[in-house]
Amino acid sequence: MGNTIPPDPKATAMTLLMDTPTTALTTPPADVSEWVNSWAEILTPTDIVWCDGSARERNELIELMQSTGTIEALNPDLRPYSFVARSEPTDVARVESRTFVCSESEDDAGPTNNWMAPDDMRAELLELSQGAMAGRTMYVVPFSMGPIDSPMARYGVQITDSPYVVVSLHLMVRVSNRILNAISGGANWVKCFHTVGAPLAEGEKDVAWPCNDTKYISHFPESREIWSFGSAYGGNALLPKKAFALRIASVMARDEGWLAEHMLLVRITSPEGKRYHMVAAFPSACGKTNFAMMQPSLPGWTVETLGDDISWLAVDDSGNLRAINPEAGFFGVAPGTSTSTNPVAMDTLWGNTIFTNVAVTEDGDVWWEGMSKPAPTGLTNWRGEAHNPESGDPAAHPNARFTVGIEQCPSLAEDWDNPEGVVIDAIIFGGRRSDTVPLVMEARDWDHGVYLGATVASEKTAAAEGTVGELRRDPFAMLPFAGYHMGDYMAHWLSIGETLRAGGKMPRIFQVNWFQKDDNGRFIWPGFGDNIRVVEWMVKRIEGHVGVNDTALGLTPHTADIDIDAADIDEDTLAGLLSVNPAKASADVDASSEFLESFGSKLPEGIRRQLDHARAKLQA
């Protein structure tokens, strides 16, 4: 079955999104051609295809992947123009142990990144890459991170031998050959090389998910290059996302005076119609996508989605901090997503979606753990086998994903593609902490806010490897994504504060924790749509309507200032959620101090001052 014609009238939404008007190019820019040709000589692909981002191109690749078994069509009556891909069981997630920052100096990568000398890494990967695309097509994919022509956008080109990667990029970023025109005009661009590392001998039959046991995801920050070998999964292979928009972009941002952050981006509108824009950084498994698509439980409030994963922020000529979402789609974790945790995401996934490593129902729809209870019978699991509920194994892989264009999101802000971005009113940091960290705090000032970001930590859940409940430090939720030394990164955040102070327009910084538990291990705060009650308090702070308690950890709300009308929580319980336990706070400051001191001489003095201030306040 071809299944390339969208059977539902709604399906034209994607066709319109992806059919970006393209300008025919007779000759690509010389520096792009040279780069492509030099890789082609090494990789020896059968042919080279210059991609344009059109719907026709996507349809052809989808047909090709159906014929090779890489993807299977879902039931078009239930999930129009949607497909399931099943990866190799060894290629199911980002591999941090194989991710490298190859800066000239090891000190520049810092203690939280794997490092190898750039020349050694290049030599190693060039050897592995000899003939690595034999029997395959090399696709050349030009893309823009951010609205094309926005002053905040940055361009890139990814070469890849994976049609799955090309189609995923169509959904996730702005793929268009208009970018080649911009590059012809002299724009800088990031060189992204990717191969699955699985050459085909003459006549050899391909497998559904080609990849290699040897994997490298290597970043060369000085030359703005990414070389990725051996994986076709997620951030290992979809290079514009984590590799470019966070690791390489964080270095560009340091050099050029802006910020590339692991943050969602939303517009909040109050019942009075006043608009606020907020970014929020949370480590994985804290519900960033759920927050980005929140359905507020307080009447009159709305949340509009601008992004769920990455924000680029820059100070504009008027001294405002502005943000764009460099992406154009979602690559979200499927398990746990349901009509109760995130109804907007469920609606977003109505069609035009590529699902990877989910389970498939008897009637050809998708299913994953957390979607419904009990699990339907007759499931096909993520490995393509009959699911055995007795086995205890999940039917969907815990890191199963959906890939879908942002325009399908019902809560999307209509001006999401505005090249000017939005002015940020508040920056939120959060983590999963069963105690110690209150429901919400405001930073005393920018530097204290940077300290709050620097001390973000989150308890491990069953979905991650390691001991459940163990506290993992994850400053700014950027530990796996900063392309340079984390100490220098904190210093860069402090310097942005100086720029903002000079312009006189400081966004507020807050810390939240939705995850405090009672003595029986039950979550106390209702979370989800009720988080708007915390956002409402932030707005009251911005408007200057309410006061605070100045605690050792930060500025906490007066209990009466958080609206819990018609929420499943009483005032005493709320008071507990807002309280700071001196013994626990003291232990936490000590733990933060130990972690931060591991950055040694690179730890900025401005951060050390915050530790001193917290200790002094605890002693008072």
110: left (phi over 0), alpha (psi -120 to 50) or beta: left
3-state secondary structure of 220: strand
Q: Which does 309 bind (CB under 5 to 8 A by kind): Mn ion, ligand TSX, none?
A: Mn ion
Q: Which does 229 bind (CB under 5 to 8 A by kind): Mn ion, ligand TSX, none?
A: none
- Looking at this protein, which amino acid is placed at residue 13? A
Least spacing, CB of residue 281 vs Mn ion, in Å: 10
Distances 219 to 130, 230, 260, 468, 474 between C-alpha atoms, Å? 20, 15, 16, 31, 20
Tell which one of 180, 294, 440, 538 touches ligand TSX (CB under 6 A).
294
Strand duo 189-195 + 225-229: pairing: parallel
What's the maximum distance between 2 C-alpha atoms anywhere in the chain? 77
Site string for Mn ion, 285-324 (x = CB under 5 A): ------------------------x---------------
Least spacing, CB of residue 201 vs ligand TSX, in Å: 44
Task: Read off the tokens for 496.
Answer: 């942005």
Least spacing, CB of residue 571 vs ligand TSX, in Å: 18
- Looking at this protein, which amino acid is placed at residue 373? K
Rounded Cα gap, residues 109 and 87, in angstroms: 31
Least spacing, CB of residue 17 vs ligand TSX, in Å: 26
Nearest CB to ligand TSX, comparing residues 318 and 340: 340
- Candidate segments 151-159, 206-214, 283-291, 344-352, binder of ligand TSX by CB under 6 A: 283-291
Q: Does 235 bind ligand TSX (CB under 6 A)?
A: no
Task: Read off the tokens for 102.
Answer: 């190859």
- Looking at this protein, which amino acid is placed at residue 56? R
Select which of 51, 102, 286, 409 is catalytic: 286
- Candidate segments 289-297, 365-373, 405-413, 547-555, binder of ligand TSX by CB under 6 A: 289-297
Task: Read off the tokens for 384.
Answer: 């393509």
Nearest alpha-carbon partner for 326 in 147, 184, 474:
147
Bridge partner residues of 567 (DSSP): none
Rounded Cα gap, residues 295 and 343, in angstroms: 8
Rounded Cα gap, residues 172 and 145, in angstroms: 10
287: left (phi over 0), alpha (psi -120 to 50) or beta: left
Site string for ligand TSX, 472-511 (x = CB under 6 A): ----------------------------------------
Q: Does 474 bind Mn ion (CB under 5 A)?
A: no
Site string for ligand TSX, 311-340 (x = CB under 6 A): -------------------------x----
- Candidate segments 229-237, 371-379, 492-500, 526-534, binder of ligand TSX by CB under 6 A: 526-534
Nearest alpha-carbon partner for 427 in 538, 568, 592:
538
Q: Does 526 bind ligand TSX (CB under 6 A)?
A: yes
Task: Read off the tokens for 134.
Answer: 């034999």
Rounded Cα gap, residues 293 and 281, in angstroms: 15
Nearest CB to ligand TSX, comparing residues 174 and 433: 433
Q: Count CB atoms within 10 A of the CB of residue 412.
A: 19
Nearest CB to Mn ion, comparing residues 65 and 404: 404
Q: Does 69 bind ligand TSX (CB under 6 A)?
A: no
End-to-end CA distance of the chain: 73
Exposed/middle/buried for 404, CB within 10 Å: 0-12, 13-18, 19+? buried
Strand duo 137-145 + 47-50: pairing: parallel
Least spacing, CB of residue 309 vs Mn ion, in Å: 4
Q: Does 514 bind ligand TSX (CB under 6 A)?
A: yes
Q: Between helices 446-454 and 486-503, what is the axis angle to 10°?
A: 160
Distances 498 to 494, 505, 511 between C-alpha atoms, Å? 7, 11, 21
Least spacing, CB of residue 294 vs ligand TSX, in Å: 5
Nearest CB to Mn ion, comparing residues 350 and 476: 476
Nearest CB to ligand TSX, comparing residues 158 and 342: 342
Q: Which does 319 bind (CB under 5 to 8 A by kind): ligand TSX, Mn ion, none?
A: none
Least spacing, CB of residue 278 vs Mn ion, in Å: 17
Q: Which does 240 bind (CB under 5 to 8 A by kind): Mn ion, ligand TSX, none?
A: none
Task: Read off the tokens for 24.
Answer: 């025919």
Rounded Cα gap, residues 115 and 219, in angstroms: 9
Nearest CB to Mn ion, comparing residues 196 and 246: 246
Q: Count CB atoms within 10 A of the CB of residue 266.
A: 26
Nearest CB to Mn ion, comparing residues 91 and 309: 309
3-state secondary structure of 307: strand
Number of residues in the chain: 620
Q: Which does 531 bind (CB under 5 to 8 A by kind): Mn ion, ligand TSX, none?
A: ligand TSX
- Candidate segments 399-407, 525-533, 542-550, 605-613, binder of ligand TSX by CB under 6 A: 525-533
Nearest CB to ligand TSX, comparing residues 152 and 266: 266
Nearest CB to Mn ion, comparing residues 309 and 530: 309
Contact 424, 505 (CB under 8 A): no
Site string for ligand TSX, 527-566 (x = CB under 6 A): xx--x-----------------------------------
What is the dihedral sign for C-alpha 494, 495, 498, 502? negative
3-state secondary structure of 445: coil
51 is catalytic: no
Nearest CB to ligand TSX, comparing residues 224 and 433: 433
DSSP 339: T
Nearest alpha-carbon partner for 537 in 442, 466, 405:
442
- Candidate segments 52-60, 286-294, 383-391, 493-501, binder of ligand TSX by CB under 6 A: 286-294
Tell which one of 46, 418, 523, 597 touches ligand TSX (CB under 6 A).
523
Q: Which does 291 bind (CB under 5 to 8 A by kind): ligand TSX, Mn ion, none?
A: ligand TSX
Least spacing, CB of residue 238 vs ligand TSX, in Å: 21
Count of chain residues binding Mn ion (CB under 5 A): 1
Tell which one of 82, 160, 290, 556 touches ligand TSX (CB under 6 A).
290
Task: Read off the tokens for 123.
Answer: 């030599």
Which residues of the shown chain bind Mn ion in the complex (CB under 5 A)? 309
Which residues of the shown chain bind ligand TSX in the complex (CB under 6 A)? 285, 287, 290-291, 294, 336, 341, 514-515, 523, 526-528, 531
Which residues are catalytically annotated?
286
